[in-house]
Amino acid sequence: MARTSRLPGFRDLPVDQRRTAALEALGLEPDLLRPLAEGADAALADRMVENAVGTLGVPVGVASNFAVDGAEVLVPMATEEPSVIAAASHAAKLARERGGFTTSASDPVMQAQIQVVGVADPEAGRVRLLEARDELLATANAQDPVLVERGGGARDLSARVVPSRAGTYVVAHLQVDVRDAMGANSVNTMAEAVARRAGDVAGGRALLRILTNKADLRMARARAVFDAAALGGARIVDDIVHAAALAEADPYRAATHNKGIMNGVTAVVLATGNDTRAVEAGAHSHAAASGQYAALSRFEKNGDGDLVGSLELPMPVGLVGGATTVHAAARAAVALLGVETAAQLDRITTAVGLAQNFAALRALATEGIQRGHMSLHARNVAASAGAGPDEIPRVVERLVAEGTVRGDRAEQVLAEIRQER
């Protein structure tokens, strides 16, 4: 059977049957997702963090319909927010009509900074560091011969003069190809190994030597075309373009616009055991690269009148090391996703971010964001009011019909339903 990410009726299945359906759609082993069903391992948590007292479970769902670079992909997403996975799945379904998502990525290059203080002639100190480039790179690569054997390692060294309120610093940037790792440990180890020599060469004292999460040399890109007729016509396309243009021009709108992108990105990053804070820091710093915080994505109308969306952002994620390696649920999520390299994970994650962004813009340009979101949120409200599994659908139906999704009203509706029995 051919792989497919189209799963009609998926949302209506019980949880255990959803796992089975997802695995069958991709032709994967029946027990692959067992770690997601078994819950957290307290002993593992104790090894992963200090002073562990337990774990906090986050729901993991599957976004369907994704076609990325011609491949059928089911995307695991870890999120507590209602409507995120449904929105991504619907956006991916619309994108399929014009071929799905096309992606690309740069080499997986991360950077470490080495701050040198007390340099009397900082401009000359910067040049001296560049003169010592080959020596410093050799020292860095000696720290991780395995990475070098796999085609990675320190690639280049640059240097900057950075004025500050406390003085002027010379800052070296060590650029490292980290291959399939996120790279923090390798990059930090290399930076520490060369720091003392870098300080001597620059004519000062090395202070900070640590990775930067502004991962602007490790970029991922995604684009998709959305059929104008499927969206509801030219007016909807124009309104989405207007909504996106405001986010490009206005930092107040951009903050929420980019949060929508990160709803998708962070959910995939978390599900695969990667560092959500690193990815978020890189994305938001990139959004301010021009000097003003702005939208990460772009939406335009092409010559055929269809909507074209594109997204480019730093994507420092990996498949080697960290929780991705040690956490069974993260490994299961990676296996479901079907990626074998960090570059594939970079690109798919970016495609999900674009899908999420498009879904939010479309909702804003048409019915408003609350209708779909509150329909799903009503399930949580009903459960919080004490509704049982057989009562939740009836409570949700009434709350949504009334347009009043509140805890007090849910309690009243639940009482009415029980009285009707």
Please state the pTM of the whole predicted model: 0.90
Last residue of a domain, one of 186, 211, 236: 211
Phi and psi at 312, nearest 5°, equal -135, 130
Which domain-ending residue is among 149, 184, 211?
A: 211
Domain that residue 390 falls in: 371-420
CATH assignment at residue 416: 1.10.8.660
Q: What is the reported pLDDT for 1? A: 59
Please, are residues 172 and 116 in contact by the beta-carbon 8 Å criterion?
yes
- Tell me, yes or no, whether 246 and 359 share the same domain: yes
Q: Please report, for the domain that includes residue 81, its CATH number.
A: 3.90.770.10
pLDDT for the residue numbered 397: 84
From CA 26, how far away is CA 15, in angstroms rounded? Answer: 17
| Range 362-391 burial, b when 16+ CB lie within 10 A, else e | bbbbeeebeebbbbbbbbbbbbebebeeeb
Kindly report the CATH number assigned to the domain that includes residue 142: 3.30.70.420
Shared-domain flag, residues 410 and 326 = no
Q: How many domains does the chain have?
A: 3
Q: Which of 183, 211, 239 marks a domain boundary?
A: 211
Is there a single domain that holds both residue 169 and residue 130?
yes
Could you give the 3-state DSSP secondary structure of residue 307? strand
Q: How many residues does the chain have?
A: 421
Residue 132 sits in the same domain as residue 195: yes
Shared domain for 136 and 194, answered yes or no, is: yes
**CB-CB neighbours of 145 under 10 Å:** 10
Q: Is 382 helix (H, G, I), strand (E, B) or coil?
A: helix
Read off the amino acid at residue 267: A
Beta bridge partners, 236, equal none
Where b means 16+ CB within 10 Å and e means fewer, 277-296 reads ebbbbbbbbbbeeeeebbbb
Structural domain includes residue 384: yes
Same domain, 377 and 361: no
Same domain, 347 and 241: yes
Q: Domain check: are 98 and 123 in the same one?
A: no
Q: What are the per-10-residue average pLDDT scores of the chain (421 residues)? A: 89 91 94 82 80 87 98 97 93 97 98 98 98 98 96 98 98 98 95 98 98 98 97 96 98 98 98 97 98 98 98 96 86 96 97 98 80 68 87 86 85 88 74
For residue 121, give both structure tokens: 């002639």
Same domain assignment for residues 296 and 163: no
Catalytic residues: 81, 259, 275, 373
